[in-house]
Amino acid sequence: MSIRNRAGEWEPLLLGIEPEHCGVCGDGLYRNQTMLRGGWSRCSICESFVHYSCLASGKISYLKRRPRVCKSCDSIPPASAQGNTVSAVPSEVK
């Protein structure tokens, strides 16, 4: 598909398809390379696409943790609860 320019030249309308890259290993997420080797998923913390093999393991080593978390987000320690000042008991309404 193409469109004619004002000067009479033809310009293609096809855009280059850029593949997504894994957020952990940086390799491309091509369908022909990863479809039969596990595929990919989206990390629930950083929202980046990662290979299935780059997801954190669950309790059983060959199963992945739910919700899906990549290895880089899994290595970050969880935020401490010291900053939370919200009480569990609601205040009385007058």
Question: pLDDT class for 3, splitting at 50, 70, 90?
Answer: low
User: 3-state SS string over 18-45?
Assistant: CCCECCCCCCECCHHHHCCCCCEEECCC
Tens of pLDDT, residue by residue over 59-70, are 888 888 899 999
Q: What domains lie within the chain, and their CATH numbers?
A: 21-74 (3.30.40)
DSSP state for residue 83 in the 8-state scheme:
G
Does this model's pTM top 0.75? My answer is no
Question: What integer pLDDT is reported at residue 6 of this predicted model?
Answer: 62
